[in-house]
Amino acid sequence: MSVTDRLDDKSLFRTDSFIDGQWVSGEGGVEVLNPANNAVIATVGDVGEAGARKAVAAATRAFESWKKVSPFERARLLMNWYKLIHENAKDLATLITLEMGKVNKEAQGEVIYGASFIEWSAEEGKRVHGETLSTPFPGSRGWTIRQPIGVVGCITPWNFPNAMITRKCAPALAAGCTMVIKPAPETPLSALALAELARRAGIPDGVFNVVCGDAPAIGGVLTSSSDVRMVGFTGSTAVGKLLMKQAASTVKRVALELGGNAPFIVMDDADIEKAADGVIASKFRVSGQTCVSANRIIAQPAIADKLVAALEARISKLKAGDGFASDTDVGPLIHMTAVSRVDKLVSQAREQGARIVTGGKSLADELGGSFYAPTLIDGADPSLDVSCSEIFGPVCSVYRAESEADIIKLANDTPYGLAAYIYTNDVGRVHRLSEGIEYGMIGINAPMVGAASTPFGGVKESGIGREGGKWGVEEFTELKYVLLGGVEG
């Protein structure tokens, strides 16, 4: 079945870049694959450096008028976009499942989650306020104003091809910025469908541009052009560091949402069944391919064996399969390279004496796509790659630590600091542990933390800046201070 056969609204299937309100074809073609069967579902042209420059020029022109549109009118247009996304949620979720394999129910959840940032930002954009200041200068008045920072370059990953775009664009557009977005080559279809809906919503030409193609060429323009005042990036820490270096040449603001290696701490007073349910929800969503996925389960020894048994019972029952099948729990990984990488991590743990409790093998041959079996490891040494690196697959390991000091040390023993989870019913432990671990977001007896109203982001090498809430909109503004002298002669 072709992509358009699956869509109610076939005009949401777009394979050209969207620049200055026009669909622009590129050279050659990057194939988009369905990871559930590795079939080619689309070919998207590369607009390269020239396309990126054209988009930056369009966004620069559009900024002059968009920044002057009242926040109330911007909110109205954003809410048009929000409503269209809701009306087309089924098709948008279909595109996500097709191009990156996500279980369709989760894909529908992503579309609604992504849209919630548009609704929130539309409202929050009306509340971008300055302040009046006291000054030491006689007869003067001082105040601040917040203004949109300007053209924003936005580079996004494939694991949330819809929400990682709306989470940046909604606050940026609400604040009065214009955007040039480079989506991941694996998932351009979701980005282009969002552009089509933005067009229909009445968002003016040049305000929202999507350029597909060669990453270093497009990224080079977005990070080096002095017309681009900020780069927002979601992706790996390695690429984030590179873009930060490139952006230094024009002292651009950077907002970086990077990788994670989340600890999931289970204390001996916790409800073990609830903790096991929490691990499943955090770890196996998107087949473990989320930045906030629980990688390292740190359990106190008294309950560790019971937790391993509860996890084994759940993980061994998870069904891998095509994201469109109603009984699928875990979809494919993004491609076969990801399957090989995950298998290498598991094999190394096995060779070093860890116990593979369940799973531990590729299902690619069995299921005909980029599948890996949901896997639980026990007794891996914390120095192994499966503990130290971001797994980005359906694999987690249980580690044991007794004292709070050792638990905090193990949890912090990583360059990452994005999300962490703690299961305990002891309020003292809640405070001591959440203050002791170095993470930007902590879920206590809660396996998922992200929402439009809350600050999403990490510390250490997991990033800079926050998306969501009032903080998400502030990121896209400049604070200006004004002093008026001679008010009283």
Contact positions vs ligand NAP (CB under 6 A): 155-160, 164, 182, 184-185, 215-216, 219, 234-236, 239, 242, 257-260, 291, 390, 418, 458, 463
Are 382 and 375 in contact by the 8 Å Cβ rule? The answer is no
Please choose, from the candidates 142, 211, 230, 168, the residue with its C-alpha nearest in 3D space to the C-alpha of residue 481. Answer: 142
Q: Is 253 exposed, middle or buried (0-12, 13-18, 19+ CB in 10 A)?
A: middle
Where do we find the tokens 């359906």?
A: 394
Closest CB to ligand NAP among 79 and 112? 112
Smallest gap from Cβ 338 to ligand NAP, in A, equals 9
By beta-carbon proximity to ligand NAP, the closer residue of 157 and 360 is 157
Of 233 and 399, nearer to ligand NAP (C-beta) is 233
Q: How far is the CB of 208 from ligand NAP (least distance, A)?
A: 17
- Measured from the CB atom, the residue of 98 and 165 that comes closer to ligand NAP is 165
Q: How far is the CB of 289 from ligand NAP (least distance, A)?
A: 7
Tokens of 19: 């620049």
Residue bearing tokens 């998932």:
187
User: Smaller CB distance to ligand NAP: residue 176 or 463?
Assistant: 463
Catalytic residue among 291, 461, 467, 475: 291
Environment class of residue 379 by beta-carbon count within 10 Å: exposed (0-12), middle (13-18) or buried (19+)?
A: middle
Which residue, chain included where needed, has tokens 């002093």?
483
- Asked whether 154 and 168 are in contact (CB, 8 A), the reply is yes
Task: Compute the distance between CA of residue 14 and CA of residue 29 in angstroms, rounded to an integer.
Answer: 13
Does residue 388 have an active-site annotation? Answer: no
Bridge partners of 362?
A: 372
The residue at minimum Cβ distance from ligand NAP is 219
Q: Nearest 5°: CA angle at 67, between 112 and 87?
A: 20
Minimal distance, residue 15 CB to ligand NAP, in Å:
16
Pick the closer one to ligand NAP by CB: 283 or 429: 283
Give the shortest CB-184-to-ligand NAP separation in angstroms: 4
Q: What is the 3-state secondary structure (H, E, C) of 369-383?
A: CCCECCEEEECCCCC
In single-letter form, the type of residue at position 478 comes to E
Q: Is residue 154 flagged as an active site residue?
A: no
User: In a 10 Å sphere around its CB, with 0-12 CB exposed, 13-18 middle and 19+ buried, how is residue 126 labelled?
Assistant: middle
Catalytic residue (choose from 99, 106, 124, 257) = 257
By beta-carbon proximity to ligand NAP, the closer residue of 104 and 289 is 289
Minimum CB separation of residue 30 from ligand NAP in Å reads: 8
Least CB distance to ligand NAP at residue 213 (A): 8
- Other C-beta atoms closer than 10 Å to the C-beta of 420 total 29
> 256: which DSSP letter?
E
Backbone angles phi, psi at 169, to 5 degrees: -70, -40
Residues carrying an active site annotation: 257, 291
